[in-house]
Amino acid sequence: MTIPSDRLTHRDASLPSTASAITVVRAELMAVRLPLRRSFATSSHRKDHLDHILVRLTDREGVQGWGECASPSHPYYGPETFTSCWNALKDYFAPVLVGESWDHPEELDAVWGRIRGNLFARAALDTACWDIYAQRRNRSLASALGGSAEEVEVGVSLGIEESLGALLDQVEDHVGQGYRRIKLKIAPGWDVAPVATVRERFPDTPLQVDANAAYSSTAEHRRVMRALDTMALQMIEQPFPADDLLAHAELQRELTTPVCLDESVTSAATAHTALGLGAAKIINIKVSRLGGLTEARRVHDLCARSGIPVWCGGMHEFGVGRAANLALAALPGFTLPGDISGSDRYFTADVLSSPITAAGGRVRVPSAPGLGVTVDRDAVRTHLLDQISVAQ
């Protein structure tokens, strides 16, 4: 699907600002731990709680913007960790941002451009800046990004279970809740049999699998991919290591099922390379993995021009990050259900006054100015691990 060019101009970004320049004078970092309702396992590890970093920025006019660093605690998904992000934010990103004046979040590339990598850390500040920017213009974040959808279709991501029976129970529960797509985590030894069992029990349910780069381009693992290719899947997500784009391209030529890239895509440039090689037919766009909304929108626009479907992935975000994902998913190129299930799917209590919920496989996009959600300060204090401020 190719999006008409007039829907990709993001006129708000190109028009001169009608508001005064934005200057962030204070950045607050809050380390917050939320327990999960039930443990979640991927190909690399199992977790029963999440430690994320909430960021609150205050500009010279007193407007506050929120962002979330949803980095995993351990370097299994990617090289960043909670600790590395905390250090990068307090020692590098926040100090260079505080005191700088800017008119549009895209200008921030120049502010922290010397800082290499650390995309999860960068994403938190980028989102908070977009929140302030949208509030200053009295627009929802979705509208400021160029999105217009009032609600988005969502799917759910299910972890590796201890038994096939437990997995089937989870699938049945979420299909019954109306989720539009089920994603199953897979790993060597937990792939063909469980997926075939789910497909047999739920023949009409949109189904996809996610390997989180757990396989290699060996004959044995390619046989697994070919077996999965017979199961009417929507996609096979990130089967091979992130940097092995040629292996993904070779696999895509062998399969009918679309290959989807996640960890491989860290910028619009890497997305362009991957598509040029034919390494994927679908891209998973994650705000955190791409360093924020600015770069995530660039990848969306690239894929839309190229006719490549995209969907919004998640990192088990708290409500702040989940609201940012919803705003991004309101853009026209997001034609596949994303991993933006309701907060109650993962947490007994979120950090928002009104948690994000799903109904019938859909979630409403916040329409109030900025992120459009209210952070529950008492909930943040209850689950706070550490806090630090960087001020002008």
CA distances from 85 to 25, 90, 213, 392 (A): 21, 9, 22, 21
| Neighbouring C-beta atoms of residue 99, cutoff 10 Å | 13
Q: Which residue has the tokens 């891209």?
A: 283
Beta strands in the chain (DSSP E): 22-41, 46-59, 64-69, 101-102, 151-153, 156-158, 182-185, 207-210, 236-237, 259-261, 282-285, 310-312, 362-364, 384-391
Residues noted as catalytic: 185, 286
Closest CA to 171 of 213, 203, 214: 203
Residue 359: is it exposed, middle or buried by C-beta count within 10 angstroms (0-12/13-18/19+)?
exposed
How far apart are the C-alpha atoms of 237 and 282, rounded to whole Å?
A: 9
Residue 11, H or E segment: helix 11-14
How far apart are the C-alpha atoms of 220 and 224, rounded to whole Å?
A: 7
Give counts: helices (H), strands (E), the chain.
14, 14
Where on the phi/psi map is residue 370: left (φ > 0), alpha (ψ -120 to 50), or beta? left
The DSSP code for 20 is: P
